[in-house]
Amino acid sequence: MARKLKSDKLLFLATLLLLCVSVVMVYSASAVLAVDRFEQPPYYFLFKQVTWAVLGVCLLSLAMRVDYRSLRQPLVIWSGLGLSLLALVAVFFAPEVNGTRRWLGLGGIGVQPSELAKVAVIIFTAMMLEQRMHKIDEVRYALGPIAGVTGLVCGLIVLEPDFGTAFTLLLIVSVMVFAAGLRYRYIIGTALVMTPILVVILASADYRRRRLMAFLDPWADPLGDGFQIIQSQIAVGTGGVVGQGLMGGVQKLFYLPAPHTDFIYAVIAEETGLLGASAVLVCFGVIVWRGLRISTAAPDAFGSFLALGLTMMVAFQAFVNISVVLGLMPTKGIPLPFVSSGGSSLLVSLLGMGILLNVSQHASSSAG
């Protein structure tokens, strides 16, 4: 009789808890906003989030049942990359939303191609590292294809413009390559080359320069560029230890921009206090811990690199989002995984967890 494969229960539980937090906090953060600004019922964003959550859980369940090793097939990898690149190009012909072109409208639903591209690049990188890690120091042979694909995808994302997502993807791939055994001198050399390039990119757009100046001194323009950071810090500070209670927050009432999306962690901190905010951090900590454990226990190199990349995708995105909310980084348009309102990010995050849970099944099987 075939042995039944077991998924990582703690990883699944932490993901499910964050999803429950999302449903509750999206409603709390958006109920008044939906009525007054969008002229919709108070449960408008809640209904959308629950719909995406149900679809995401179905996607997670499906991904858990598909052997992750089938993802290394060339047809799967190149199809995923091809569709991602086509979608990233197609957004330049889509209407602008808040001065950017990041979404494709499909049947009235906004899809963010950069989210799908992250997973496609992670799978591609895992496959290339598995095949060429034995010659990792032959940079042109081992890393040339990875650098080319990652550079192309990141370049298209920057042009949307979405510097935060591009930078996050670059960090994910860098960690995967470092884990493959690349020598420090190559890493340091790459960092020295990339630093001036990143500085030029940051300085090339006026809004990025203003965000950086607002980060350094938000009170220099408290009603303009510094408004988001100040209101976010007020929300976090007024939460105290136990918070103001669900639906009791004030900063979400047209003081805090995007309270149900990019700044939802500020609403969590204000309404549930240090205890609730810390609980969310613990959930992300569990995901990172279990993801790294799965990576080290994977039965093959592809599974190991794939698990590492998917774990870092959640870790870096959560770190950047929470850092922005706390005023530790300049403002970025990066949602909090599993929690922020939005379909594309939620679906891709749950897809990633489904693949990671499948790797954990085979890791536990090989260990047993």
Mean residue pLDDT of the chain comes to: 89
Q: Are 341 and 157 in contact (CB under 8 A)?
A: no
Residue 103 has pLDDT above 90, yes or no: no
Winning range, highest mean pLDDT, from 81-95, 161-175, 270-284: 270-284
pLDDT digits (tens, 9 = 90+) for 127-185: 999 998 888 877 788 889 999 999 999 999 988 888 889 989 999 999 999 998 887 77
User: Considering all CA atoms of the chain, what is the largest pairwise distance in Å, rounded to the nearest integer?
Assistant: 69
| CA nearest neighbour of 294 among 68, 37, 17 | 68
Residue 296 has pLDDT above 50, yes or no: yes
pLDDT band of 364, cuts 50, 70, 90: low
139-171 in b/e form (b: 16+ CB < 10 A) is beebbebbeebbeebbebbbebbbbbbbbbbbb
| Rounded distance between C-alpha atoms, residue 353 and residue 61, angstroms | 10
Residue 266: the pLDDT is: 95
Q: What is the DSSP letter of 5?
A: P
| Rounded distance between C-alpha atoms, residue 311 and residue 296, angstroms | 12
> What pTM did the predictor assign?
0.92
| Rounded distance between C-alpha atoms, residue 368 and residue 356, angstroms | 18
pLDDT digits (tens, 9 = 90+) for 307-345: 999 999 999 999 999 999 998 888 888 899 999 998 889
Winning range, highest mean pLDDT, from 96-100, 199-203, 291-295, 327-331: 291-295
| CA nearest neighbour of 351 among 306, 316, 320 | 306
| Rounded distance between C-alpha atoms, residue 344 and residue 185, angstroms | 37
176-205 in b/e form (b: 16+ CB < 10 A) is bbebbebeeeeeeebeeeeeeeeeebeeee
pLDDT band of 1, cuts 50, 70, 90: very low
| Rounded distance between C-alpha atoms, residue 90 and residue 276, angstroms | 40
> What is the percentage of the chain residues whose pLDDT exceeds 70?
96
Q: In one letter, which amino acid is 220?
A: A
Report DSSP letters for 255-271, one per residue: TSSSTTTTTHHHHHHHH
Q: Is the dihedral of CA 9, 168, 122, 134 positive or negative?
A: negative
Residue 283: the pLDDT is: 97
pLDDT band of 211, cuts 50, 70, 90: confident
Backbone phi, psi, residue 262, to 5°: -65, -30
| CA nearest neighbour of 164 among 215, 123, 124 | 215
Residue 188: the pLDDT is: 81
| Rounded distance between C-alpha atoms, residue 209 and residue 203, angstroms | 6
| CA nearest neighbour of 15 among 350, 262, 276, 351 | 350
Winning range, highest mean pLDDT, from 82-96, 105-119, 128-142: 82-96
Q: What's the distance, Cα to Cα, between the start and end of the chain in Å?
A: 15
> What is the percentage of the chain residues whose pLDDT exceeds 90?
59
- Cα–Cα distances (Å) from 205 to 98, 200, 202, 209, 257, in that order, read 15, 9, 6, 7, 21
Residue 99 has pLDDT above 80, yes or no: no
Q: Report how far Cα 124 is from the mean position of its chain's Cα atoms.
A: 18
Residue 2: the pLDDT is: 40
pLDDT band of 368, cuts 50, 70, 90: very low
Q: What is the DSSP letter of 101?
A: -
Tokens standing for residue 293: 């454990």
